[in-house]
A and B are shown apart, each in its own frame.
Chain A
Amino acid sequence: MISAYYFGAISLILIGLYAILTKRNLLKILVGLSIMETGVNLLLISVGYVSGRTAPILTEGATPQTAVDPIPQALVLTAIVIGVATTALALTVAINLYEKYKTLDIEKIRGLRG
């Protein structure tokens, strides 16, 4: 069962990577990046997941024995925040780029080279 999560996570990472490597549109690349991050986050979560347990929130009846490992979840929260920040920044830059180059085709944004 757990391998399904891993499989899913790795698929997401690869899909993201695929998007980055093949799509020429900048926005699509950024989407790919986001997908990849999601995949990584999923992987991280899966690492701490124990089959059949609940979320590690201190509620009625929840003991450390019934909860999954809380640390990955904390980590993922941070990672998500970071991912959002990155994406936001990237989109800002993308807007800027579009203003300057009038295109989002990554093959045409090649002012700096050599």
Chain B
Amino acid sequence: MNPQYASLLIALPLFSAFLVPLIKRAGKKVILPYLTLVTLIQTGIAAWAFKEVYTTGKPIIVLAGGFQPPVGINLYIGHFAALFVLIIAVVSFFMTVFSMKAIDVEPIDKYAMLFLLLMLGATGMIATGDIFNLFVFMEITAISAYALTGYNKTGEASEAAMKYIILGGIGSSFFLVGVALLYGSLGTLNLAQIAMLASKMNPTVAQAALALLVFGLAVEAELFPLNAWAPDAYQASPHPVTVMFSAFVVKAGLYAMVRIVYLFKDTPAFMGILNLILILGTLTVVIGELSALRQTNVKRMLAYSSIAQIGLIAVGFGVATPQAVDAAVFHMVNHAIVKALMFLAVGYVAITLGCPCIESFKGLGKKMPLTAFAITVGAISIVGIPLFNIFWSKFRLLLAALQVGKTGIVALILGASLVEAVYYFRLIHAMWFEESKDEKVEENLAFSIIMLLLVALIIVIGVYPEPVWNLVQKAATDLYNVANYIKNVPLLGVSP
């Protein structure tokens, strides 16, 4: 197939989103199946792109309108993007299934539209090769995320959405300032070209621009203290949306941040920015874990935990050795799997038993054994027990950080992990060893399959991480090896 078909990854959700009003005429019941269908197709395309990239070993460069960059906007689906687009598609597909049960608030057609736009935005953020395009996709993601956060229309939802809007608005404004600075000094918006020209840039401007870009994206990527919107948004948004936030929306922001920062590898500003990311990441881990400690709302607890894990990934990127980036990307993948499972299961419990508060989880092992089992596996995995997937990435990450002598940071992170163990095991204890009077609930087959699938994935990666590890290494190289990135993009006027 022509690699240019990969543009369907962007096109399909976009058009499908605008088709929703038409579909609505066929009846409201059709909308969610339609959504499922679209995400399924998207998954197929993503899988195809994934296969294509990993078999040929070359990235797919999609040139919009056939213009060569930097004149035209290009999509760059490298190893990392291919992997992540697949994850986005798969998680979205699962979430459409989940939505059938989880979403009962009208208007369902708007939900479907926003859902698709969110998926589109995240895909775009990861796949694009142009910084302004990145901004646009980020805004698409953000606006659909704002809307989805407030989708439930309760006071809490509106409040969370409002917080998200205000903070996100400030962030994106400054991001745009950064873009303006970049454009002003380099005259280009293409990432590859920026990377090429970065070393010739005025260091002060580069530093300022980079700082502003990082600032803007850090709001999306939930780095402390720019993450204040996150727990509220996670808690208030519909359950499938929470899953998507945690699994890929945030990670897309982080990815964008890291991609941009790594473009400036050869500039003097680079080390400073890395230190900034390291500090922010560590703070995020520590504050996130500590905040989760005494939460009674499990969903909020998971939100904080998710924030902390993002901080960990950020630390990995901040260390910025090849090993650390490998580990960070691995952690991204693992975390996406585990948090998808956790939020899915917790959301399912919340739907079934009415609330995601800790009371619902008491005796869950008797009420909903499979769900409880899934949460348990997820929790154990997050805590970092060997034979579960997160252990490998965490272990690798910390070793990589120690390798460059960041002992203090590692000690802080490990201390925070202890805290993490406490609240997760309190949850596990509540689920399995505390009594409750409620009766056993029949568990939904589709969810059970999804959860078991994810559980199996967690354990398989945990026991035999080899295949995923190889994928992840390639993806990380794609992210880290900027020279290769420049080479792969067919820039106009630059002979390869």
A-side interface residues toward B, CB under 8 Å? 13, 16-17, 20, 26, 29-30, 33, 36-37, 39-40, 43-44, 47-48, 71-72, 75, 78-79, 82, 85-86, 89-90, 93-94, 96-97, 100-101, 109-112, 114
Contact = CB atoms under 8 A, between A and B. Distances in A.
B443 interface: no
A20, A29, A94, A114 pick with most chain B CB within 10 angstroms: A114
B169 A37 contact: yes
A85 B174 CA distance: 18
B165 A90 contact: yes
Interface of B: 132, 135-136, 139, 142-143, 146-147, 150, 153-156, 158-163, 165-166, 169-170, 172-174, 176-177, 179-181, 183-184, 189, 231-232, 235-236, 291
Contact of B153 (A17, A20, A39, A96): A96
A93 B136 contact: no
Nearest to A96: B158
A111 B183 contact: no
At the interface, is chain B mostly helix, strand, loop or mixed?
A: helix
B162 A97 contact: yes
B166 A33 contact: yes
Contacts of B174: 40
B159 A82 contact: no
B169 A111 contact: no
B183 A94 contact: no
Contacts of A111: 155-156, 159
At the interface, is chain A mostly helix, strand, loop or mixed?
A: helix
Given A36-B173, A40-B173, A93 B154 contact: no
B173 A13 contact: yes
Contact of A40 (B177, B183, B236): B177
B142 to A, nearest CB: 8
Given A82-B139, A86-B143, A86-B169, A97 B155 contact: yes
Given A20-B170, A33-B165, 4 more contacts: A40-B176, A43-B180, A44-B180, A85-B139
Contacts of A29: 166
A94 B166 contact: no
A16, A96, A112 pick with most chain B CB within 10 angstroms: A112
Contact of A71 (B135, B189, B235): B189
B147 A112 contact: no
Given A33-B169, A36-B173, A96-B150, A112 B160 contact: yes
Contacts of B154: 100
Contacts of B135: 79
Contacts of A40: 173-174, 176-177, 180
A17 to B, nearest CB: 7
Contacts of B143: 82, 85-86, 89
Contacts of A75: 132, 179, 183
Contacts of A110: 159
B236 A93 contact: no
Nearest to A110: B159
Given A29-B166, A96-B150, A109 B176 contact: no
Contacts of A82: 136, 139, 143, 172
Contact of B173 (A37, A85, A93): A37
A85 to B, nearest CB: 6
A39 B163 CA distance: 21
Contacts of B181: 47
